[in-house]
Structure 1
């Protein structure tokens, strides 16, 4: 087997066309997962009756099953549910109207939320309980204490784990090809099919993912540096 640097470069340029799709899947999933995960974490921390047990079971099931399984379950079950409801209530909306990438958004958001929930929960629990009590003492409500005192510290402590989750979702976005979404990996297969240089094409895909991962790591390191500077009383 002989590498073709010229084709690797050609494939690299062509794969950049699928970069927006990969980034959309990644950031939409992480953002939605963060919001859902925050809600799940708060339910578990404040031990909301019934919901706490459901939240714990949700996290356990999602973390205990593969990401690809979530995608396939959503892909095959959601159309049945939507079409069934549409037929029952006479809706004009049907599952055929959902773009393929929509299944990836929903599935990966669910996957990300379970992992985010544990990251956020551990970050919130790491904040000294005395700070919340001090917030109550000066007249803050629970929501104000969480928003102004607890969450900023929890997010700062959880930043490395959040960064790892973002990288994990970036790499996991390659599974979207199973529902006909053309992201970077699927595009690499399409490009390689023209002359069967799959190895060269996947090298180009690997370089793009590597570059994106390094970029995320650098941004995370920069944010951590700013946070540490602020914590030491420096000028942020």
Structure 2
């Protein structure tokens, strides 16, 4: 690759990187709301009250068994029509909002199972011991369940965050100019020129982001488990 080729590559990297904040915004907002909703669904599934449990189970099944891009189109095209029936006009909303809603709803189904499995892994014996010494439910959760469950959940939580990052690349399909959206704009303006180079660049950028997140979660797990007694111990 000559000097002009390297200059072109650096220019393309810079132009794609300009949209990194959009990608990260979608990721962080979807992660926040996905965790909150996932926690609520996990509580419903743990309590196992018949009707809420059945609804939560159907929700998880639908979100896990349908393509994310289909869910994105359902929210983007269907939500405005649904809210219009209630007299609410959301056609002026930023497209980013629809993307965050979709990825939050989608990721919540997976986060709920991570949270539920981590809670159940703590063990009924510890819960009974906490009640036997007079702890309230709040004290039990704060002092026994949540500290252990969080440590158990970190690896699976990290895996799901990586999946969420990759799925945010679908946001360009509704016209959001994130990193993938920027790639499509550049290719469109240049009639598909340098398409292989463009896709290699954006693939490497997602790889670097994913590797950084993976290291962050590995480091978080090590720091959290340091000095703690594991369940196996």
Give the TM-score normalised by structure 2: 0.91
* Deviation of the 1:232 alpha carbon: 5.3
Q: Find the aligned partners of 1:69 and 1:148 in 2 and give their Cα distance.
A: 41
For residue 203 of structure 1, what is the aligned residue in structure 2? 200
Distance 2:175 2:82 in 1: 21
Matched, 1:112 2:116: no
2:159 partner SS: helix
- Aligned CA RMSD, in angstroms, stands at 1.8
Aligned-partner Cα distance in 2 for 1:77–1:18: 27
The question of whether the paired residues in 2 share the 8 Å contact of 1:171 and 1:209 is answered with yes
C-alpha distance in 1, partners of 2:75/2:209? 28
Residues paired across the two proteins, number = 226
Task: Tell me by how many angstroms 1:137 deviates.
Answer: 2.2
Superposed, which structure 2 residues align to 1:60-99 within 5 Å? 60-86=61-87, 94-99=89-94
| Match in the other structure for 1:89 | none
Q: Is the 8 A contact 2:151 2:225 kept in 1?
A: no
Q: Indicate the SS of the match to 1:95.
A: coil
Match of 1:152 in 2: 147
Of the three residues 190, 202, 225, the one matched with 2:222 is 225
Whole-Å Cα distance in 1 between the matches of residues 229 and 53 of structure 2?
37
* C-alpha distance in structure 2 between counterparts of 1:35 and 1:66, whole Å: 22
Distance 1:5 1:153 in 2: 50
Q: Which residue pairs with 2:22 in the alignment?
A: 21
Q: Decide whether the 8 Å contact of 2:95 with 2:175 is kept in 1.
A: yes
1:165 aligns with 2:160: yes
Match of 1:103 in 2: 98
- Match of 1:126? 121
Quick check: 1:163–1:220 contact (8 Å CA) kept in 2? yes
Unmatched tracts of structure 1, length 5 or more: 87-92
Q: Which residue of 1 aligns with 2:35?
A: 34
